[in-house]
Structures are given as C-alpha cells and as structure tokens.
Amino acid sequence: MCGIVGYIGTQQAGPLLLEGLARLEHRGYDSAGAAVLAPSGLRVAKRAGRVADLREALPGRFTGRAGIGHTRWATHGPATDANAHPHLDATGRVAVVHNGIIDNAAALRAELTAAGVDLRSDTDTEVLAHLVGRSTAETLEARVAEALARVEGTYGLAVLHADFPDRIVVARLGSPIVVGVGEKEMHVASDIAALVRYTTTVAHLDDGEIATVTAGGFTTYRLDRADLTHSPRAAAALDVDVSSYDVPEGSGHMWREILEQPAAVERTLRGRLDERFGTAHLGGLNLDPRETRAIRRVKVLGCGSAYYVGQMGASLIEELARIPADAEAASEFRYRDPVIEPDTLYVAVSQSGETIDTLLAVQEVRRKGGRVVGLVNVVGSAIAREVDGGIYLHAGPEVAVASTKALTTMYVGFALLALQLGRVRDLSIADGKRIVAALQELPGLVEETLDLAEPLAEVAHELAAAESLFYIGRVRGYPVAREGAQKLKEVTYRHAEAYPTSELKHGPLALVSPAVPTVALVPLDELTDRNVAALHEVAARGGPLVVVTHADVDLGDVPCRRVDVPRSERELDPLLMTIPLQLLAVHAATHLGLDVDKPRNLAKSVTVE
C-alpha cells in the first residue's frame, strides 16, 4: 500500500500523475513512482522519499497519454528505489502498481525464480507484474484475471501493458479502487482525493471486480477465478467540497480539521433530532421499532481511534438504552471464530469505510447471519455498501492521518444511536429530551472548548519534553484516555500509555516519577472524589500532573496544570474532554518540529491486515 493514481486521455499523463500523488501524500508513504506509456514503450521513474524527490528524478522526456503512479508504504522490503512501485515484468512491457498484500508471494517468487525469472525487488507486488507478463491470453483483462487467479491475499491494482496502449486495467479485492469519469479522459485512484480536482463523477469498484479503463469510458467485470463476466456499473456524482483537500496555508490538514469540529458536529446532528418525543431519527439503520426492541446486545467493531470511540459508544448505549454493549478490536474479531448471536446488533466504525480489518469483520458477521450497521464517513465506501444499514457521519473529508473531526462525529453518531435505542426501550421522555437539548448545544460547546487551544500550548510544550507519559480516566473517561494517548503517539512519537485510574495502584504506579507526567481526566460525576484521591497518589510520588476537568471540581491542594472544559450532560462530557487531548498532541508535535500531517510509519486508510 498506500496510494494509486492513473490517467488515460488526451493530456500528458506525467504532470497529472504527479499532482495526484501529491494529493495522496497525507495518507503516509516512504517512496513514490510513476510509469507512462510512450510510443517507444514504458518509461518508468521511482524514488525512495517524497513525491518531490520523484519529480526531480523524472527523465527529460517523460511523455505519454496513459500512465499509472504510486506512493508506497513499505510492507515487503525496505524503502528503496528498487522496492518502489511501479514494478515491471521481465520484458519491461508490463507495469503494475498495487495496494494490499499477496499472502502467497514467497511461493510465487520461488516458482518464478525456478523458471529463470530475475526478481529485482523484495516486494510481493513484483510477482504480479511477472504473472501478467508471462500470460499469453488474448486480452489484457484476461491476462490480469489469469494472474489474479494465482494469488492469495488482497489487492487494489492498476496495470499498463505496452501491447495494449489504449487501456489501463484495474482490479479490487479488499483495497479500494475508484474510477473517475472525465471528458474524453478517465482517471483511476485508490482515494478520491487524487481525482476530485479533475472530476467528481466516480464509480467505486466492488471486491472481486476488474475494470477496463479507456479514454472513452470504462467497463466492469466480475472475476470468478480466471473467468470474467460483464457486470455493468454506472458512475455517480460526488457531493464533495474540493477545497477540503487543499493544504491550508500556514497550518495544515490536522489543525484545520480540529477547528472544523463544531460545524462537523452540527452536520451530523442536522435533521436527526426529535424534540417532541425526545428521540433521534436514524432511518438509515433500517430497523423498525419491533426489530429494535428485539436487540439484546450491541457489539462495536473498529480499529485504532474508531475502536476507542467504539468503547465510548458502548458505554453510552448501556447508559441510555440499558442494553449490554461492548467494543472489540475488529482486527482480532474474526480470528477467534466469534459466536454471532441473532439478537445482537453489530456496529462497524470506520472513517474511510475501507479499513480492511473492519471490512473483514463485517463480512464475518454477515457470513454467519448477523445484522451489522455502519458508522462511516465516506458514501459509497466498501463498508457502507456491505452493511445492512448505517449512520453517515457527514464530517466532511478528513485528510489528516490522525483522526479528529471524524472521531468527534463518531461519538455524536453513537449518542444518536443510543438515544434511538433507548427511547424505543426504557429511556424516559424526560431523559430523552434532556439528551436532545444537550446535543443541540454541543456545537457551541465544542467551539468554546477550542478556545483552549492557545492556553494549552505551554502545557503541551512541557509534555513534549517527556519520553513517556500516562493517560488515566475512569469508566467513561478510560477510552478517552486511550484516545488521548493514541493521538500523542501518532504525531509526537512519544511513548504514551493509558490506564483506568483505579488500575494505577495495581502495578503502573511503580513507573510514576518526576520524569513521567500523567494526564488525568476528572469530570464532575459520581467518581470525582475517587479520581481526586488518585491524583494525590501520583503527586505524592513526584509525578507531574495535567488534569482535564470541570470548573466545579475541587482538586484541593493537588499540584497540577489544570484544564477546565465546558460541561454538558455527563453522558456527553467525554466528547468535550477529548478535544483538549487533540490540542495537546498537535501543540506538542509542532513544538518538536514534526509534521502532524505526515506522521512516520502511518497511513490514513489501512487496507492491509
């Protein structure tokens, strides 16, 4: 993985490929490359490093009206020129770019080596180029299908062949591919960010599909082993703000997306609150009241920040709907052969809707007859198409690798889900109206919380000096602490570990010292006194403290840096306490001179297991 672009039409492909690759830089990568189809054959350039390095390395005449490009995030082999994509076959007439992982690459490499093929990289992708190149099928589509029939694993790929200069062939299994329709030209990408400047009319390939892309249009096929069946697919117009993908001057995507959170929360809530009955309207769930009352358990599935907000959401559902609920890492779910219960509602959470671990968990639930709904931000994404119903977040494009506004709107999505489930069951109309009123006030409270940005800068600079930190919280606060630690790790590369506050005395307290700061979440709730007592334990051992709390909380004489957050209803307070942790992370990273939009070793949409 990480990013794919392609173009075929009347323009020179090279500049368009470089522009598309630059617009995928936010996804994370360590090398970049491109291939164009010139009259004399394929011309290829690739470099370890940034897209700017590739631009400087391009040969003088890098011309052609069909081309493919790639930004790579290393999986097989280090970041080197040789391991960068595109990869060529032995004749130099086939070029392949690929996201995903070929699980049987070692066996295929051994087979190719035994056949006399000189492999020039450490990658799994190179075997695809050789398999396509060695095929003698009549069409390029058939050659690609024949090659894919040999591989096990996941892929999103694009193939150029000098013998078929009028087309690019793309395919998808577990890793996204989008085809963009232009005027006498076509675009290919793994992420719409690469093509929205040129077209917003797109078609998303489904798993198991191949498409032939020519300057005049595209044709899709279903792939069954090596057999192809024509499968018509229409393109649709995207409702997207193209400017959201432009890098803001003087800041960056992550800063902009943090500041966009009030508007994002408002969009998530718009049209979904019912003041009269104190409930939410979520028609996209495709659940009538009788089906809703039959739900006996809720299981949330997500990865990374989506998993942590899933824990927050599970807590909300238990509180408001009084249904047993828990969250599990989607990456582990299907490997324990889970028991799928007919009266359990499974909720898949993913910003991109393409997270491979979560998608595979969804497919496992559906394979065993379970009902699964999605909380996703991208219309037309794989998870959105796979689930039985769902809640679109309407956060707007989230470009930064570290999630902020998507996570916030995920929490709001869970609040709406919990409210609707609760009002069908045992949540009183009075409590329903209380939550509705609090949700209506939430955009303003988020805006007020963002006013902490400047005061938190000095606190963040102090935290940035530490090599290791603790984040602690109880019950509703624990998953918030986990998300806060995640944010700091993602953008500062500091070690940060989250614990339930009550667990400190069961081992981790041994690590508390003046060199290990603790960020503590202390809301005004039924556990305030116990949380304050834990702060004394940390302070007694010389541990520096940053306390995210409410103005009404009496911390006594605890020595600390205090951060007072606006109050909402206690069920919604975790959302407001998450925002200062985002600000601490981005301030700390900026103080360390790090680019928060390009965190090392990370990708925006994880499409490999």
* Residue 445 contacts residue 483 (beta carbons within 8 Å): no
**35 vs 129: CA distance, rounded Å:** 13
Sign of the alpha-carbon dihedral angle for 315, 318, 321, 325: positive
Two tokens, residue 357 = 């671990």
Report helix, strand or coil for 125: helix
Q: Which amino acid is at 564?
A: D
Structure tokens belonging to residue 479: 């998953």
Task: Find out whether 314 and 416 touch, Cβ atoms under 8 Å.
Answer: no
174 vs 386: CA distance, rounded Å: 12
The helix (H) or strand (E) run that includes residue 458 is helix 453-464
**Cα–Cα distance, 251 to 247 (Å, whole number):** 8
Helices (H), 116-226: 125-134, 140-148
> Coil, strand, or helix at residue 507?
coil
Which residues are designated catalytic? 2, 604
Instruction: State the sign of the Cα–Cα–Cα–Cα dihedral 388, 394, 399, 405.
Output: negative
Q: What are phi and psi of 211, to 5 degrees?
A: -135, 140
Instruction: Write the CB contacts of 104 (distance below 8 Å, at least 6 apart in sequence).
Output: 151, 152, 153
- Residue 387's nearest CA partner among 337, 342, 349 is 349
Ordered DSSP codes for 205-272: PPTTEEEEEETTEEEEEEEETTEEEE-----EE----GGGGSPPTTS-HHHHHHHTHHHHHHHHHTT-
Report the half-sphere exposure of 404 (CA within 13 A, side-chain side).
31
Report the number of secondary-structure helices (H) and strands (E) in the chain.
18, 27
Rounded-to-integer distance, Cα 376 and Cα 394, Å: 9
Q: Decide if 6 contacts 69 (C-beta within 8 A).
A: yes
Give the tokens for residue 404: 């902020």
* Dihedrals phi, psi of 434, to nearest 5 degrees: -60, -45
Structure tokens at 415: 């609040």
Cβ contact 178:6 at 8 Å? no
Q: Which residues does 178 contact at the CB level (< 8 Å), separation at least 6?
A: 188, 189, 190, 191, 192, 195, 202, 203, 204, 205
Among all chains, which residue has been given the structure tokens 């925006």?
604
The answer to whether the Cα torsion of 197, 202, 206, 212 is positive or negative is negative
